[in-house]
Structure 1
Amino acid sequence: MTGFALLLVVVAAFCHAAWNLLAKKVCGGTAFIWIFASLSAVIYFPLALWIVLVEKPSISPMHLALIAGSAALHSVYFILLDKGYRFGDLSVIYPLARGTGPLLSILTAIFFLEEHPTPLALAGAAFIGIGILVITGNPFSQKASGAQKSIIYALFCGAAIAGYTVVDKVAVSTYLLPPLLMDWSTNLGRVLLLTPYSIKNWAKVKEQWAAHKKEALGVAILSPLAYILVLTAMVFSPVSYIAPAREVSILIGAILGAKLLSESDAKLRLAGAGTMMIGLVALAIG
């Protein structure tokens, strides 16, 4: 993985951890997801239009199928993440969700995309997995109300991450759909998928908008920005490297959870995050 790709992924990690902190504070459900997705569609529309007018990408039925699949998987991801945050800590649910996804992505990339990461890169991914275990401990031993339910949501969330990571990798590298246009189209698809629910529950939408305008705007800007940077890196880097490298955001998330949300076991979780950083270095070298 090149230094430029690593830089893109690290900047994306800061953006990703920041919007997850906002989402954790709100836990606004599907109504909040629809609000920030709609704002994102509006905010990034000029850039998407510029790409269409300047680059003139050809859009085939396969492109539309990939966009639809990614939109569905992203919708599932956001809904599951929100449900997980309702019951669990940011510094537990975030590592579980973010860690499960890349490990599944690597397996998928190896067996279905025929990628061949180096032994050092695989060792880096293993260190990331060890760091996740250190951070979470044995999450199923937690006795707090709803804790185990939140972990189930996080694990399914990780599976959704693996799914859309591979779909989006194919879209931007094999079918050469511009990363920003891919993300914007996927986001628009998410808006369309969630609009029937939002119309039916318009009172909840108005309630979330009245209470969380600033948070919605923050997520609307940071969430697409983080993923656009990752998609750009995917254009010229294997997904089996990019997916686990993204998990530097877990270090940031653990710090945010400990410092800003006063979550417990800060030292242990930061130690696990440090282990993950070793894995990140191995990925960069490999």
Structure 2
Amino acid sequence: MTAALLLIGATLAHAAWNIALKSAGARGAGFLAATLLVGVVAFAPIGLPALLAGLPSTGDGLALAGLLVTGSAALQVTYFLLLQRAYRVADVGVVYPVARGTGPLLSILGALLLLGERPGPIVLLGGAFVVAGVVVIGLASAHGAGSDGAPGASRDGAAAQRRVRGVRAGALVGVVIAAYSLWDAAAVTRADLDPIGYYWASMVVQLLVFGVLVARRPVALADARAHALADARAHPWAVLVVGILSPLAYVAVLAAYQLAPVAVVAPAREASVVLIALAGWLIFREPHPARRLLGSVVVLAGIALLALG
């Protein structure tokens, strides 16, 4: 029951910050740095004490914790950079569903092969339903995406190439999603690290990594600072919403990993895709509502099976 409540909260928070991000139209390293800074500062009063209280007492334990935090930060930074690149070369309506469908599928396989989990057939069927529903939603988004005003066959060919790029880029992002899901699940279950302290430390390292990436060139550092300030001024509410709700959603997922198998949690968290797909139709007036609703029903059926399993 507790795991279910955590996943419901994570789903609502994840959908909310993605809708806020879409509404603001903000992107770029400056925006990411601004949201990370908000998250680090906002959660410091609980993150730092949780980190200190949960630190291992042995040298080997401390070294392992440092490795896990550093690895988590590296995977998260890779995820953000790949996702931004994917959004530059393809449509978000293709990239996002493919990534969120590939991620849980690979997470289930990783839980079987790497973490030794043995989910029952109902759980596996539920996971398959979730992935299938996400793909249906993605096909609805992809069908209406990529129109650039070019005439006839030229427009269709360009749209098809953009969809192919979107599928490839989304699948690569999905691999990274699976990687950080399994890595972080192992950190809070096998290494028994506190989810709040662990992810707060990961955010601190992520912020440092972004700083190092732009500080390699003074001009880039100045540009990043200027963009961060510009984004904060232009979209202050989006910076706050993303900066607070994004880590809150993921900490809830990490806590759920301690209570339920990865093979259940990883696909169940993708219920946010349903809310985002519905928001795309109702708020942003994106096309093909029938396909979005069909995919949403399939995802919800899969989540119901996961609950039964």
For residue 256 of structure 1, the aligned residue among 279, 282, 295 is 279
**Is 1:176 paired with 2:192?**
yes
Shift of the 87–210 alpha-carbon distance from structure 1 to 2, 3 Å rule, reads: farther
Kept in 2: contact 1:27–1:85 (CA 8 A): no
Shift of the alpha carbon at 1:125? 0.7
Shift of the alpha carbon at 1:75? 1.1
Instruction: State percent identity of aligned pairs.
Output: 36
Task: Show CA shifts across 1:174-220 (max 9, x none).
Answer: 11110001111111111011013455222222222221221011001
Shift of the alpha carbon at 1:76? 1.6
Task: Show CA shifts across 1:237-263 (max 9, x none).
Answer: 111110011111111111111111111
Aligned residues: 284
The root-mean-square deviation of aligned C-alpha atoms, in Å, is: 2.2
Kept in 2: contact 1:29–1:83 (CA 8 A): no
Shift of the 140–269 alpha-carbon distance from structure 1 to 2, 3 Å rule, reads: closer
1:16 is matched with 14
Equivalent residue letter for 2:237: K
1:238 is matched with 261
1:158 is matched with 174
CA distance in 2, matches of 1:21, 1:88: 19
Kept in 2: contact 1:21–1:90 (CA 8 A): no
Equivalent residue letter for 2:279: L
Larger Rg: 2
Gaps of 5+ in 2: 148-158, 216-220
Shift of the alpha carbon at 1:88? 5.4
For residue 195 of structure 1, the aligned residue among 193, 205, 211 is 211
Shift of the 217–142 alpha-carbon distance from structure 1 to 2, 3 Å rule, reads: closer
Secondary structure at the aligned position of 1:71 is classed as helix
1:273 is matched with 296
1:4 is matched with 2
Shift of the alpha carbon at 1:7? 1.7
- Give TM-score scaled by structure 1 length: 0.91
Kept in 1: contact 2:51–2:196 (CA 8 A): no
Q: Which runs of 4+ in 1 moved over 6 A?
A: none
Shift of the alpha carbon at 1:79? 2.4
Shift of the 148–22 alpha-carbon distance from structure 1 to 2, 3 Å rule, reads: farther
- Give TM-score scaled by structure 2 length: 0.85
Shift of the 142–212 alpha-carbon distance from structure 1 to 2, 3 Å rule, reads: closer
Kept in 2: contact 1:241–1:283 (CA 8 A): yes
**Is 1:222 paired with 2:222?**
no
Which has the larger displacement, 251-260 or 74-83? 74-83
Shift of the alpha carbon at 1:236? 2.0
For residue 102 of structure 2, the aligned residue among 91, 97, 100 is 100
